[in-house]
Amino acid sequence: MSILFRTIVYASLFIGFLLIYLPDRILAGSGLARPSSIGFAQWIGFVLGSAGAVVALWCVTTFVRMGKGTPAPFDPPRLLVVRGPYRYVRNPMYLGAGLALAGAALFYRSLPVLVYGVVLLFCANLFVLFYEEPTLRRKFGADYEAYCQEVRRWLPGLTAASRS
C-alpha cells in the first residue's frame, strides 16, 4: 500500500474520530446546535479552525514527502522530518488540531469543546514526552538531539530553524 494512501486513511480516521466525531458528541450532549446567525465569534472561530486544518494538512503532506512515512505511530516516517512546519515547532500537528478545536469551540461558543481541546493537548503532551521523543531519540540519535536544541517543542520560534 502506498505511503500516500496509508496517510490518507490514517489521517482521516484520526481527524474523523478526534476532531469531528468526539466534538460532535460533546456538542450534542451539551444541547448546543449550530448558531442561528454568523457573528464575529463564528468568523474568528472559522478562521482559527481553518488555520488549524491547514497546519495539520501541511504536516501530513510534509511527513509523506520528506519523511517517507505517515503520521501514525505504528507507521512513522522513515526519515527525520525537520522541514515544512517542523522548522518552526517540533509538534505542529498537535498544535493544528488544538487550533482547529479552539476554532470549533469559539464558533459554537462551547466551553465543553474547549475543555476537550485542552485535555487532548494535555494527553498529546504526555504522548510526546513519554513515547514520541524517546522513540525519536533512539531512532535518529544525534540528529534528533541537534533538532531539539534548535526547535522548541510547543511554542513556535519567530524564525525557522537553519537545518535543511
Mean per-residue pLDDT pooled into runs of 10, the chain (164 residues) = 77 77 80 79 93 92 88 87 95 95 92 94 97 96 96 85 59
164 within some domain = no
> pLDDT value at position 139?
95
> pLDDT value at position 3?
76
156 within some domain = no
160 within some domain = no
Task: Read off the amino acid at residue 67.
Answer: G
> pLDDT value at position 162?
64
> pLDDT value at position 160?
66
> pLDDT value at position 161?
65
What pTM does this model have?
0.84
Q: What residue numbers bound the domain in which 57 lies?
A: 3-150
159 within some domain = no
3-state secondary structure of 153: coil
> pLDDT value at position 130?
98
> pLDDT value at position 1?
61
Domain count, the chain: 1
> pLDDT value at position 21?
78
163 within some domain = no
14 within some domain = yes
> pLDDT value at position 98?
95
Report the half-sphere exposure of 121 (CA within 13 A, side-chain side). Answer: 19
